[in-house]
Amino acid sequence: MKKIQILGTGCQKCTKLADLTRQAADELGIEYELEKVTKISDIMKFGVMVTPALVVDGQVKVAGGLPNVERIKEMIK
Amino acid sequence: MKTKVLKWILLPAAGAVIWWLIYSNLSAFAGWFTYSLLKLEQGRHFSSSVEFFVFETPKVLMLLVIVVFVIGIIRSFFTPEKTRAILSSKTEAVGNVLAALLGIVTPFCSCSAVPLFIGFVTAGVPLGVTFSFLISAPMINEIALVLLFGMFGWKVAALYVGVGLLIAIVAGWILGRLHMEKYIEPWVFQTQVAQTDVQQTMSRQDRVNCGLTAVRDIVSKVWIYVILGIAVGAGIHGYVPQDFLASFMGKSAWWSVPAAVLLGVPMYSNAAGIIPIVKALLEKGAALGTVLAFMMAVIGLSLPEAIILRNILKPRLVFTFFGIVAAGIIIIGYLFNMVL
């Protein structure tokens, strides 16, 4: 079971990242739980300064960018 | 080895040559298109508008693609984490200068202003230095730079960057001197900030991809504003009489500079469309300082940003911040009107 978190205060890119991540995880067929972290003080706890960010099992994989589905698959594998 | 030479040297070189050939023939093409193909009469309002549009549109879009691509690659070498590490160990004056410079190259979107502010301040970056960064990052904008270079030449483009840096450095420094730390919402300092570094090693191919992504993201977003702006600009170019604007946007109208700044604040997302219009205004007798002030206010001072910053700053600091930057822009506007 992978714990995937999307950090972002709700801008357009953040929603896009959540959609792409869901797509990537579904295509891989892995079991996962996706959580959106929107509170700024919670986002800061990850040490991230630019949103959106993707966190897998507590580890920040990407911050401030929008990777494509293939890249996301590598990150959540 | 051979394929490497082909991919990293020959292909880009060939691309650059083709780009340059097309770019340098655009003016001739616009003339041919307007007067030979469409058989429009020389010297008419309409034909002069058409020529302006057919010339400026591909020119601006071609410049936009190349500059956004290059800046995308440059930005792949910088991250907010690196910028913060550089700034947190600097004293104020040096820090303000560095912050303004780093604001140009650090990838940053205004929706990240709040986490970035907290990340900087809690890591020990002085408040004034943080402001220098927050002013320079949106104000010195690659799209504006491209349009200014394409439509006015390198001198005005350099002026724009220089003036933007100056305002960011001085305004940030003044804000630092005012010691307004108490006007930051207290929860900012209570925020736990982890210091994880996102380690992303990038290959050459990755950096090129960064450039391509930037082109796709930015050009797909702004092309419509660019075309609309050029269309309006073309209308002004062809139809508005010469010196029509001199009386109320010229040097003699003292109130035109503050008025331009006030007008510019609510106009935010249209930075891409504003510059072609500005070019046409300038042709019709508007003064450069006034026009520059207008443009800087459009790009550098935005209401959405003020609202975002209100989350972490008390109103007094938001007003002071906006007031100082606006004052800087107005002073620069007058200065240019006086000197040029």
CA of B48, closest CA in chain A: separation in Å? 40
Residues of A known to be catalytic: 11, 14
In a domain, B198, yes or no: no
A61/B193 Cβ within 8 A = no
Structure tokens at A8: 């972002």
Per-residue pLDDT 10s for chain A (77 aa) are 888 998 888 777 788 888 899 899 888 888 888 888 888 878 888 888 888 888 988 888 888 777 888 888 888 88
Report pLDDT for A72: 86
Using the beta-carbon criterion (under 8 Å), do A47 and B196 form an inter-chain contact?
yes
DSSP-H helix ranges across chain B = 2-5, 11-24, 26-31, 45-75, 80-88, 92-105, 113-122, 127-139, 142-152, 154-177, 187-190, 204-239, 246-249, 256-264, 271-283, 288-300, 303-310, 315-339
Nearest in space to B291 (alpha carbons), one of B280, B278, B307? B278
Q: Closest partner residue to A44 among B79, B84, B193, by Cβ? A: B193
CATH class of A2-76: alpha beta
**Predicted pLDDT at B197:** 58
- pLDDT, position B268: 60
Structural domain that includes position B155? 40-186+205-340
Distance CA B108, CA B285 (A): 36
- B160, B148 contact by CB (below 8 A): yes
Given a cut of 80, whether residue B242 has pLDDT beyond it is no
- What pLDDT sits at residue B171? 92
Per-residue burial over B251-280, b = 16 or more CB atoms within 10 Å of its CB, e = otherwise: bebeebbbbbbeebbebbeebbbbbbbbbb
- As a whole number, the mean pLDDT across chain B is 83
ipTM score of complex:
0.78
B226: Cβ contacts below 8 Å, ≥ 6 apart: B57, B60, B61, B64, B147, B272, B273, B276
Domain membership of residue B229 (yes or no) is yes
Q: Chain A contact for B115, CB < 8 A? A: yes
pLDDT at B97 > cutoff 90: yes
pLDDT, greater one: B92 or B192: B92
Query: What's the pLDDT score for residue B293?
Result: 86
DSSP codes of every residue in B258-326? HHHHHHHSS--TTHHHHHHHHHHHHHTT--HHHHHHHHHHHHH--HHHHHHHHTTB-HHHHHHHHHHHH
Predicted local distance difference test score (pLDDT) of residue B340? 66
**Half-sphere exposure of B48 toward its Cβ, with a 13 Å CA cutoff?**
13
Residue to test with chain B: of A20, A49, A55, A72, most B Cβ within 10 A:
A49
Q: How many domains in chain B?
A: 1
> Tens digits of per-residue pLDDT, B102-159?
988 887 766 778 888 888 888 888 999 999 998 888 888 777 788 778 777 888 888 8
Q: CA of B174 to nearest chain A CA: how many angstroms apart?
A: 25
Q: CB distance from B84 to chain A under 8 Å?
A: yes
Residue B238 resides in a domain: yes
Q: A13: which 2 tokens?
A: 């890119």
Interface test with A, best of B75, B109, B111, B188 (most A CBs within 10 A): B111
**What pLDDT is stored for residue A15 in this prediction?**
86
Question: Nearest 10 degrees: CA dihedral of A15, A17, A21, A24?
Answer: 120
> Where residue B195 falls among pLDDT bands split at 50, 70, 90?
low
- Tell which residue, B275, B161, B183, B190, has the closest CA to residue B226: B275
Q: Could you tell me how far CA B229 lies from the centroid of its own chain?
A: 16
Is the CB of B79 less than 8 angstroms away from the CB of A64? yes
Out of B81, B111, B200, closest to residue A49 by CB: B81
pLDDT at B133: 92
pLDDT score recorded for residue B269: 52
DSSP for A21-66?
HHHHHHHHT--EEEEEE--HHHHHTTT--SS-EEEETTEEEEES--
Residue B272 has pLDDT above 80, yes or no: no
User: Which position has the higher pLDDT, B323 or A47?
Assistant: B323
Determine, for residues B194 and A45 on separate chains, whether the beta-carbon distance falls below 8 Å. Answer: yes
Write down the pLDDT at residue B95.
92
Region of poorest pLDDT, from A59-63, B3-7, B93-97, B196-200:
B196-200
**B184: region left, alpha or beta (phi > 0 left; psi from -120 to 50 alpha):** beta
Domain layout of chain A by residue ranges: 2-76
pLDDT for res B233: 83
The verdict on a CB contact (< 8 Å) between A47 and B195 is yes
Q: Say if the Cβ atoms of A62 and B200 lie within 8 Å.
A: yes
Cβ pairs A/B, distance under 8 A: 71
Name the residue among A59, A43, A39 with its Cα closest to residue A51: A43
Q: Treating both helix axes as pointing N-terminal to C-terminal, what angle do B127-139 and B80-88 enclose, rounded to 10 degrees? A: 140
Highest mean predicted confidence (pLDDT) among B112-126, B265-279, B293-307:
B112-126
State the first-to-last Cα distance of chain B, in angstroms, to the nearest integer.
54
In a domain, B197, yes or no: no
Q: For the ranges B34-48, B181-195, B236-250, B251-265, which has the lowest average pLDDT?
A: B236-250
Interface touch B112/A49, C-beta < 8 Å? yes
d(CA B188, CA B305) in angstroms, rounded, equals 18
Distance from CA of B155 to the nearest CA of A (A): 33
